[in-house]
Structure 1
Amino acid sequence: MLGKEFHDHELLAAICRAYNDWSLEYCRSDPERLLMAAMLPMQDPKLAEEEAIRAAELGATCFYVRPNPVEGRNLYHEENEALWSTLEELQLPICLHDSGSPYWPSYGERMDTHTSGHIIAHPFEAMVAMMSLIWYGTIEDHPELKIVHVEADAGWLPYWLQRMEQHWEFSGNAEHPKLKKRPTEYFKSNFLVACRGDEMTLPAVCDLVGDDYLTFNTDYPHPDGTWPNGMADLEQQPLHESSKRKIFWDNAASVFLNHSL
C-alpha cells in the first residue's frame, strides 16, 4: 500500500485506517508481547499527520514509514515538517523499512532480479535516509524525533558514520547550513539501528560505534529472516552479556516504551 501512487489520497488514508485498526485489534490479543506499528499515508503529509494522531490515541507504539522518496518528496522535504513536529509531541518513533515497489524510486530498481534488488535496496535506502535526515537539518529542527532503521542490518553503520564525518571535516556545513553539530552527534541522539543475530560484523559495530545504538530483529516470517534461530544466533555472538541485553531489550525499550531500564 505504501509502495503505490494512490492518486486518491482519501482512499489511501481509509485503507491505512482500516489496516491500523485491524493491527491494533490483533495486538490486543496479547498486549504483553505485541506492540503495534501504524502505517502512515505519506503520499499526503497532512493525512499522515492526522492518522498518526488517531493511531496514537488508539494505542500505536510507533509508525512505519518508507525511506524512499514519495511522490518526489524525500523524508527531509518541507511538507513533512508538521508531521515530524507532531511525532515529537506524541513522543513516538518512526521505523524506516524499505520494500519492493515498481512505483517509488529505489536502488533495487537498477537490478533485474528480486534477489539482486533486495540485496542492495534495504541497506542503501537506510543509509541515504539517515544521511539526508541529518544533513538536511531534519534532526536539528526536530531533536526529539526518534528514528529506528529496521531490517537493513547494521554492518554498514561504522563505515557510514565515518563517511559522513569525513565530509564534515573537509566541507563542514557549507552546503548544509542547518547542520550545527557533527553528524555522529545527531546519530547518537536520535537513531537506533536493528541488526540480525547472525551478522559477522556485529562485534565490530559494537566496538566502533557502541552497543547503545543497536536493537534486534528477525524479519519473521519472511524466508530471508533468521527465525527460528535469530535469538540463538545473537546469544552466540562474542559480545558481553550487557551488550546482548541492550540489543535484545534495553535500547528498544528506551525508544518504544519511552523509558530507560
Structure 2
Amino acid sequence: MSTDTKTESVVKARADDAASYWLKEGWAPGGHIREVDFATEARGLDPMFAGIKIVDCDTHFTEPADLWTANAPAHLKDKMPHVRRIDGADQWFVGDRHFGSMGGNVIGKDRNKLLGRLAFPNYDQIDPGSFDVGARLDAMDAMGVWAQICFQNGGVTQAGSLVALNDDELAITITQIFNDACKDRMDASDGRINCMGTLPYWGKDVMNAEMRRIADLGLKGITLPDRPERLSEGYVGPDGGVSPFWEEVFETCEATGIPLNFHLNASLDANTAIWDNLGFDQKLPIHALIHHIGCAATMSNFMVSGILDKYPNLKIGLIESGAGWVPFWLEGMEHQLDEFRTAQNRGLKKRPKEYFKQNFWVSFWFEDYAPRNMLDEIGVDKVMFETDYPHPTSLYPGVQNKLVAVLAEHDQETRRRVLELNARELYNLEF
C-alpha cells in the first residue's frame, strides 16, 4: 500500500536569513530592567546537589566581535565577518551584506536582566560572560553549573546567507573558524565549555570533509537544520530511503557517538499560527511555545523516516525543547501510526516510544510539573537540564532556587542522573 504524495513544503533559504535571524524589534530601545541581587543569587552549588557536576545543556556563546577577523588567513581578512555599530546597535556585516545582530543577550554588564526585549543592543552593555571564556566560567560558578553545552548566538553561520556570498572559499572558511573557536573554548575551559559545531551543508563533499574535521577536533556535538531541503537535500531521498547526501554524516555520528542537535528549531513557521495585528510582546511567548512543538515534529519526522532503523545508535538532542509534552506526543504518535498503518507500510522496526527511548533526549528549564512528576513517565535517563543563558527566557539569576524547588522530592541518584549523567552520556563529556 502506498499513500505517497510529493509536495514542496518548505520556504527556501534566502540571502537575508542571517539578517532576519534576530528581529530588529528585539534589540530596539525599551524593555524593563529587572534589578538582580547578584550577591545573594550567585551562591554557587546548593548543598542539596553536593557531589553533582551540573551540566547545563542549552546555553549560547555570543560570537566575539573579532572572532573572524582575528583568525582569518591573510588573503581573506578583509572579507571576514566584522561588527559595525549603527545607531548604537552592534551589527554583523560580511563586506556590505548585513548579517544581523549579535543575538540574544539580556544579561547586562551590571548583572541586571532586561525583560520585554531580546537583547541589549551592543557589546558594551552585556555581561562579558556572554562572549569571554574566563568571564563565562565565573558566571557558571556563580550559577552552580560545572559544564555547559553552547550554541551559536548571532546569525553569521546561517547557511543561506553564506551561500549567497557566492564565494565558496570564504563561506567554508567562516564555518571552519567558527568550529575552530569551539575547540579553543573547550580546551581553554578544560572541557567545561562545549560549543556545538556547524556544517557547510550546501555541498556534500565540503560538508563531509568538515564533519570528519569536527570529529578529529573532538567537538562534542553538531547542530543540524531541521529542514535541510531549504538549501540542499532533505534527509529522505525521492525514493523514500535515506538520502545519500547525508549518509556519511549519519555514519560518522553513529560511529563516533557525536550527537545531532536540533535546537528549538523552525520546522513549523510559528508566524502562520499567530494572529495578525498582535504586538511584539504578544507574539513572542506564542512564538516560543510553538517552536517546542517544532521539536516534537522533528522527532516525529525521524521516527517515521526509517533513518533510525538504518542508524539505530544515532543520538539526537532536542534542545530548548521542554519535556512535559513528551508522554502526550508519544501516545498520539503510537495511536496515529496504528490507525494509518505507517509502520506496516514503511517497514519500521520500532514503536515511537521505543525510538524515543533509544535515540532522543529532551531538556527542561522553566517547567515545574514535568521535573517534579513526570521523570519516570518520560524516562529519567532521557531528561536533561538547561538554563538558556543569556537568552530572554533564561533561568538567570535563580538557577539553584529553581532546581531545589523542582528536584527536592527526588533522591540523590535521580538528581545526578538528570543534572549530570544524561548530558555526560549524550555529549561524551569527560570530567
Class of the TM-score when normalised by the shorter of the 2 chains: 0.7 to 0.9
Which amino acid is 1:48 matched to? M
Instruction: Write out aligned runs for 1:77-156 (5 A).
Output: 77=237, 78=243, 79-98=245-264, 106-110=268-272, 111=274, 113=280, 115-116=284-285, 118-156=287-325
Change (3 A) 1:116 1:45: farther
Match for residue 158 of structure 2?
Answer: 2
1:210 is displaced (CA, Å) by 1.8
Alignment of 1:1-261 (within 5 A): 1-2=157-158, 4-5=160-161, 6-7=163-164, 8=166, 10=168, 11-71=170-230, 73-77=233-237, 78=243, 79-98=245-264, 106-110=268-272, 111=274, 113=280, 115-116=284-285, 118-173=287-342, 176-196=345-365, 198-237=367-406, 238-257=409-428
Which letter does structure 1 place at the counterpart of 2:419? F
Moved more, 126-135 or 175-184: 175-184
**Does structure 1 conserve the Cα–Cα contact (< 8 Å) formed by 2:315 and 2:360?**
yes
Shift of 1:197: 5.4
Distance 1:26 1:67 in 2: 26
Q: CA deviation at 1:46?
A: 3.7
Q: Distance in 2 between matches of 1:234 and 1:143?
A: 33
Structure 1 residues 22 and 229: alpha-carbon distance in aligned structure 2, compared to 1, 3 A threshold? same
Cα 1:176/1:16, change in 2 over 3 Å: farther
TM-score, structure 1 normalization: 0.86
Q: Does the Cα contact within 8 Å between 1:24 and 1:59 map onto a contact in 2? A: yes
CA positional deviation for 1:44:
3.0
| Local SS of the residue matching 1:28 | helix
TM-superposition CA deviations, 1:184-226 (whole Å, max 9, x none): 1111011111111544333343132221111111111112111
Q: Distance in 2 between the 1:187 and 1:193 partners? A: 10
Q: 1:39 to 1:2 in 2, by over 3 A?
A: same
Q: Is the 8 A contact 1:197 1:230 kept in 2?
A: no
Give the direction of change, closer, same or farther, for the CA distance of 1:149–1:9 in structure 2 (3 Å limit): farther
Distance in 2, matches of 1:62 and 1:48, equals 15
Q: Secondary structure at the match of 1:193?
A: strand
User: Which deviates more from structure 2 when the two are superposed, residues 68-77 or residues 194-203?
Assistant: 68-77
Q: Could you say if the C-alpha distance between residues 221 and 131 of structure 1 is closer, same or farther in structure 2, counting changes exceeding 3 Å?
A: same
Aligned residues of 1:43 and 1:71 also touching (Cα < 8 A): no
Cα deviation for residue 174 of structure 1 reads 5.2
Worse-matched range after superposition: 169-178 or 137-146: 169-178
What CA distance in whole angstroms lies between the structure 2 residues aligned with 1:159 and 1:184? 11
What residue identity is the alignment partner of 1:2? Q
Shift of 1:45: 4.1
The number of residue pairs the alignment matches comes to: 256
Backbone CA RMSD of aligned residues: 2.6
Aligned residues with identical type, % of pairs: 25
Which of 1 and 2 has greater Rg?
A: 2
Give ranges in structure 1 of 5+ residues lacking alignment. none
Letter of the structure 1 residue corresponding to residue 389 of structure 2: Y
Quick one: distance in 1 between partners of 2:324 and 2:387? 15
Query: Is residue 147–residue 192 contact of structure 1 (8 Å, CA) maintained in 2?
Result: yes
The structure-2 alpha-carbon separation of the partners of 1:2 and 1:45, relative to structure 1 and needing over 3 Å to count, comes to farther
Asked if the contact 1:135–1:178 (Cα under 8 Å) also holds between the matched residues in 2, the reply is no
Deviates more, 1:215-224 or 1:37-46: 37-46
Cα offset, 1:151, TM superposition = 0.8
Please identify, of 183-192 and 64-73, the stretch whose mean Cα deviation from structure 2 is larger: 64-73
The answer (yes or no) to whether the contact 1:196–1:226 under 8 Å persists in 2 is yes
In structure 2, list runs of 5 or more residues that go unmatched: 1-156, 238-242
Is the Cα–Cα contact under 8 Å of residues 93 and 145 in structure 1 kept in the other structure?
yes
Per residue, is there more strand in 1 or in 2?
2
Identify which range, 201-210 or 137-146, moves more after superposition: 201-210
Secondary structure at the counterpart of residue 41 of structure 1: coil
Letter in 2 for 1:257: N
* TM-score, length of structure 2 as denominator length: 0.54
Shift of residue 99, structure 1, vs aligned partner: 5.5
SS at match of 1:239: coil
